[in-house]
Structure 1
Amino acid sequence: MLHYECYKAGEDRMLDTEFSGKLVMRNKNLGLEEYRFLLQTIVNAGIGEQTYGPKNVIEGREASATLQDAYSEVDGIVFDTLDKLFASTGISPSEIGILVVNVSLFSPAPSLTSRVVNRYKMKEDIKAFNLSGMGCSASLVAIDLVKHLFRTYRNSLAVVVSTESIGPNWYCGKERSMMLSNCLFRSGGCSMLLTNNRALKHRAIFKLNHLVRTHIGASDEAYGCCIQVEDSLGYPGFLLTRNLTKAAAKAFAMNLRVLVPKILPLWALLRYVLVSRPRRNKAKTAKLESVGAGLNLKAGVEHFCIHPGGKAVIDGVGKSLGLTDYDLEPAKMALHRFGNTSAGGLWYVLGYMEAKKRLKKGDRILMISFGGGFKCNNCVWEVMKDLEDANVWKDSIHNYPPNSTANPFLEKYSWVNDDYLSFVRLD
């Protein structure tokens, strides 16, 4: 990887506590119990007051998004990050041989890759791939695709663009398991430049050492735990069920069985075999928190880049791998500052590590991602030089980590928890 650029919207798109409260109150389908549920979810989600929402939601048009709203949101993220990517590297769009764009919930015709090719007037023999429906782990799916293409196309430059279409997919119903997505997902994305040209090795910031993809969609339970559906009133949204953590645990365990032997020294593997033997009979019922029991991944990697999908996911992976607060800090701070930006989320976490000057030459970074399907995609990057670019964190890194990540939403809207309101109908 030669460079990456994350997206940061303007302050007019910020979802602070006051605006979030107004946004919730705009949904006329909600009753008191739904308000209470949202209050609890927002407070416990680990998201701060500086995340960004799509323009149509900010303008109060979440229930009537248009095709143009979808184009406008994606164009803003994709073109902003690509403009910066080409400017920072000095690479011309005409030099790009491979282009992969992944947006799960928006797949127009012509494709988004064609939109990029048209905007930057890229060459006619470019190998372009448009990925949709791949969820939060789509970024590593795209990188895996590039890795395989590099075996055929020598001395190539590839661009991967990872983002999501939030605005047209804002849920306006009242099903609790579908309201969760509104509390977690925010606008964001990233563009990356990769190469297999050895002549550019001196410019590389990361080298991809290993990448393992696991897909357990053959299980009906896993397939349906994170899925786009309509509720009983006909409102489309994203359903997140209680089976999600179970599916994540199963996929994570299967992925680690393949990845761990590639990254750990022999002594660490032998130790794991001895320690984990008594637990093998319980593997089928393992929770996310216990998947990596006995593993010492720090014998093979120095940093952990966990997808900022939510506080529960980060904490679950942390307990599973025996990670410290220091290890989990980048993921939690990315979630707090930018929210869950779907496939682009990993790169905000990586950016935090770089801005905090944690990444030194020779360090290895384990990236962990989960996505609907259900998928677990993990990879290991090697740092090629000392890194300290403040990147997308430039204006806020000095405030992180904050003394407290408590959300003031509870203080301002705690009245909905008062018992005397139980017989009141909110209008």
Structure 2
Amino acid sequence: MSKPNPNPLLIPPSQSRSKLPDFKQTVKLKYVKLGYHHLITHGMYLFLSPLALLIFAQLSTFSAQDLHDLWNHHLQSNLISVILCTTLIVFFLTLYFLTRPRAIYLVDFSCYKPDDARQCTRQIFMDRSGLTGTFTEQSLNFQRKILERSGLGESTYLPPAVLNVPPNPCMAEARKEAEAVMFGAIDDLFAKTKVKPKDVGILIVNCSLFNPTPSLSAMVINHYKLRGNVRSYNLGGMGCSAGLISIDLAKDLLQVHPNSYALVISMENITLNWYFGNDKSMLLSNCLFRMGGAAILLSNKRSERWRAKYRLVHTVRTNKGSDDKCFSCVTQREDSEGKIGVSLSKELMGVAGDALKTNITTLGPLVLPMSEQLLFFATLMAKKLLRSR
């Protein structure tokens, strides 16, 4: 009589099942996706290359007599058709090269770096705010909390008119701030690019809250003695999107003015727009906005391609101004005491997120490769089919 085996052989469940290939171990899925991407992106070339090789191989078998017969028996008898087709091909090629969009290059840019004397740490900000005597203790605590959560570091800058005790906001100080920011950034940009002021054919300046007379663009023209036929534009009241709007405007102008440089200055002015009241919605701007600006040089000259930092390919603008919430989310107004400031509503984040979503949805098909667009479409259709079930 056989005794039971005290140590039975245990078969792992994984071995008891029918052995299936583990694709995660045998194939790296990232290479599969990479191959799919290359197949879709270069599919036309992969299809046309063998066809071109076949045509070339067939032509290589032609002898001189075959070519002579082709000319005598086919081409000469259809000479008018051949000339007409050739003329049409040349015409459409010429039309394409004349009407295709010009390449726009961002040659270089420069950001304004204020003097160390204008540096404003968080502690300096709170000290100066307390010394003004216009803020209540509740407003000071509110600004302190916002400042800690704003993401601003210890190396931000404010104009002297705001840092002085007492503050001295006036038109003269606002002009000094504008000149310091604009001329500082432009001087550095011209030094880096070696471009002369007389070479600039298009000038665009944007500043939302400070629009003096003469305009900021006129101040730049006068300071650098720009040429008489320079096309200048001064954009105001367009908020945080003004910088990209200026780039879009420069792109459109460079499409119709060949061999030109476009100088774009994007800035904001703090001096006359610092809020000295106690409305919380208007105190936010004091905690978020600081002194600064940038100068950008764009060109459509082919000679600038080799040193340009970027090439401007797509600009997509999304306008939500017809929506009442979007229209009133950022407003310059007076508070209950008659003090002017910029009010940021609670709906601002939601409005900005919705505008960004719409913009990315429009921009996506322009920048995503065809492989990613097909994957997105397939995923979207699969989700809809699963939901319908």
Q: TM-score, normalised by structure 1?
A: 0.63
Report the secondary structure of 2:316's partner residue: strand
Count of residues in correspondence between the two structures: 279
Residue of structure 2 aligned with 1:257, choices 347, 361, 364: 361
Residue of structure 2 aligned with 1:104, choices 208, 214, 237: 208
Residue of structure 2 aligned with 1:21, choices 103, 126, 139: 126
Q: Deviations over 1:189-223 (max 9, x none)?
A: 11111100112211211101111011101111111
Residues 391-402 of structure 1: pairs in structure 2 closer than 5 A: none
Deviation at 1:271, TM superposition (A): 3.1
Q: Deviations over 1:168-188 (max 9, x none)?
A: 100000011110111111111
CA distance in 1, matches of 2:379, 2:283: 41
Deviation at 1:50, TM superposition (A): 1.2
1:270 has 2:374 as partner: yes
Residue of structure 1 aligned with 2:189, choices 85, 88, 104: 85
1:139 has 2:243 as partner: yes
Residues 179-328 of structure 1: pairs in structure 2 closer than 5 A: 179-275=283-379
- Counterpart in 1 of 2:234? 130
Paired residues of 2:282 and 2:341 also in contact (CA < 8 A): yes
Paired residues of 2:170 and 2:271 also in contact (CA < 8 A): no
Deviation at 1:269, TM superposition (A): 2.1
Cα distance 1:256–1:279, how it changes in 2: closer, same or farther (>3 A)? Answer: farther
Unaligned runs of 5+ in 2: 1-105, 385-389
Residue of structure 2 aligned with 1:44, choices 149, 153, 157: 149
Q: Which amino acid aligns with 1:151?
A: Q
Residue of structure 1 aligned with 2:139, choices 34, 41, 45: 34
Cα distance 1:275–1:39, how it changes in 2: closer, same or farther (>3 A)? Answer: farther
Deviation at 1:147, TM superposition (A): 0.6
Deviation at 1:278, TM superposition (A): 9.5
- Counterpart in 2 of 1:8? 113
Q: Deviations over 1:126-183 (max 9, x none)?
A: 0000011111121111110011011110010110011111111000000111101111
Q: Which amino acid aligns with 1:8?
A: K
Cα distance 1:23–1:86, how it changes in 2: closer, same or farther (>3 A)? Answer: same
Paired residues of 2:126 and 2:140 also in contact (CA < 8 A): no
Unaligned runs of 5+ in 1: 281-427
1:148 has 2:229 as partner: no
Identity of aligned residues (%): 37
Question: Which 4+ residue blocks in structure 1 deviate beyond 4 angstroms?
Answer: 274-280
- Counterpart in 2 of 1:70? 174
1:174 has 2:278 as partner: yes
More displaced 10-residue stretch of structure 1: 199-208 or 234-243: 199-208
Cα distance 1:18–1:201, how it changes in 2: closer, same or farther (>3 A)? Answer: same
Q: Which amino acid aligns with 2:137?
A: L
CA distance in 2, matches of 1:274, 1:235: 56
Cα distance 1:46–1:276, how it changes in 2: closer, same or farther (>3 A)? Answer: farther
Q: TM-score, normalised by structure 2?
A: 0.69
Between structures 1 and 2, the one with greater helix share: 2
**Structure of greater Rg:** 2
CA distance in 2, matches of 1:61, 1:139: 32
Q: Deviations over 1:53-92 (max 9, x none)?
A: 1110111344x41111110001001011111111221111
Residue of structure 1 aligned with 2:164, choices 40, 55, 59: 59
Deviation at 1:279, TM superposition (A): 9.1
Q: Which amino acid aligns with 1:227?
A: T
- Counterpart in 1 of 2:5? none
Q: Which amino acid aligns with 2:161?
A: N
CA distance in 1, matches of 2:358, 2:340: 32
CA distance in 2, matches of 1:223, 1:75: 31
RMSD over aligned Cα, in angstroms?
Answer: 1.7
Q: Which amino acid aligns with 1:263?
A: V
CA distance in 2, matches of 1:274, 1:174: 53
Cα distance 1:279–1:133, how it changes in 2: closer, same or farther (>3 A)? Answer: farther
CA distance in 1, matches of 2:166, 2:175: 15
Q: Which amino acid aligns with 1:247?
A: V
CA distance in 1, matches of 2:371, 2:304: 36
